[in-house]
A and B are shown apart, each in its own frame.
Chain A
């Protein structure tokens, strides 16, 4: 993630919201857009859990909920979606569950459980102990190099060796 992301405030837009002090939760519903720096999540509903006056966890749900993040300035965006997502700002951790998909460059990961480290862009998919969270990875091959004949002259001749 962009270095500055973690320090950015979390901004949430939605149609309606309720705040329940007993459970320290704020529930945002209806076309919910949450943004923190370069991280953006679109969902139908989002519940913000506070602990000691700070955001401890954000749980978003959608059909599916979508997230987008810019891993580095000018870098290609990482995209993902899932029916349920949990974001832990303090741990820089995003947990996608239920038809979760993450597209990182030419790699696509699909599973019922994907843990994505927002800071290092590390994807950890599936779960050893369970068969239900199998992982499906598609690594698109890099675009093929041009055939030899098309290459310009200099490239085919070996560099001249120094004559004694």
Chain B
């Protein structure tokens, strides 16, 4: 009778060992001991986000602000709500680039603005104010460069020029290229 009891005891022990081994495999534990978050979910977020980037000589070069940001651990991107990029320029007003939403690439070298985006710079000296209205704009902050494949309207009022596809260098010498279907309109005073 005893041997039957002993055998069933051994059976329970083996079962318990098997079950715990199985459970241990089910829950894969990260090195840091955190539980793995579900795919593409933010690992941190911030409201009223501000980031300054200085130039090599220690002066403020560009500033990114956003109403809200979320950083995603899987692809290391940072998603932005109402981003506003401000680029300081020596001896001229800053360039402002804003949009409804955007994301910063994993390496931080690109800011992709989604939907409608506007670029603007105030007048100074004998340079008129410039405003560009476009959409789906890719900005490369390090080299003060932006490009889009979408329609872009360049306003240097009262003159306007529009086209499909645009490349913009917004540091001296300022250079704007419209890639196709260009229409320029210049007002004249007799």
Seen from chain A, the residues whose Cβ lies within 8 Å of a Cβ on chain B are 6-22, 26, 28, 36, 48, 50, 52-55, 89
CA distance A55 to B184 in the complex (A): 12
11 contacts between A and B (CB under 8 A): A9-B186, A10-B188, A12-B185, A12-B186, A13-B182, A16-B177, A17-B163, A18-B178, A21-B174, A28-B182, A55-B188
* Chain B residues closer than 8 Å to A15, beta-carbon distance: 180-182
* Chain B residues closer than 8 Å to A9, beta-carbon distance: 185-188
CA distance A52 to B163 in the complex (A): 24
* Chain A residues closer than 8 Å to B179, beta-carbon distance: 16
Give the nearest-CB partner of A3 in chain B: B190
The reply to whether A6 and B190 contact each other, CB–CB distance below 8 Å, is yes
The verdict on A11 contacting B184 (CB below 8 Å), with A16-B163, A52-B126 known, is yes
Seen from chain B, the residues whose Cβ lies within 8 Å of a Cβ on chain A are 126-128, 130, 154, 156, 159, 161, 163, 172-190
* Chain A residues closer than 8 Å to B159, beta-carbon distance: 50, 53
Known A16-B163, A16-B182, A18-B178; further 8 A-B contacts with Cβ < 8 A: A9-B188, A12-B161, A13-B184, A19-B154, A19-B175, A20-B174, A22-B172, A53-B128
The verdict on A10 contacting B186 (CB below 8 Å), with A16-B180, A17-B177, A18-B175 known, is yes
* Chain A residues closer than 8 Å to B184, beta-carbon distance: 10-14, 17, 26, 28, 48
Q: Would you give the shortest CB distance from B97 to chain A, in whole angstroms?
A: 17
Q: Would you give the shortest CB distance from A27 to chain B, in whole angstroms?
A: 10
The verdict on A20 contacting B175 (CB below 8 Å), with A8-B188, A54-B188 known, is yes
Give the nearest-CB partner of A53 in chain B: B128
Pairs of residues from A and B, 5 with the lowest C-beta to C-beta distance, nearest first: A12-B184, A21-B174, A6-B190, A22-B173, A17-B182
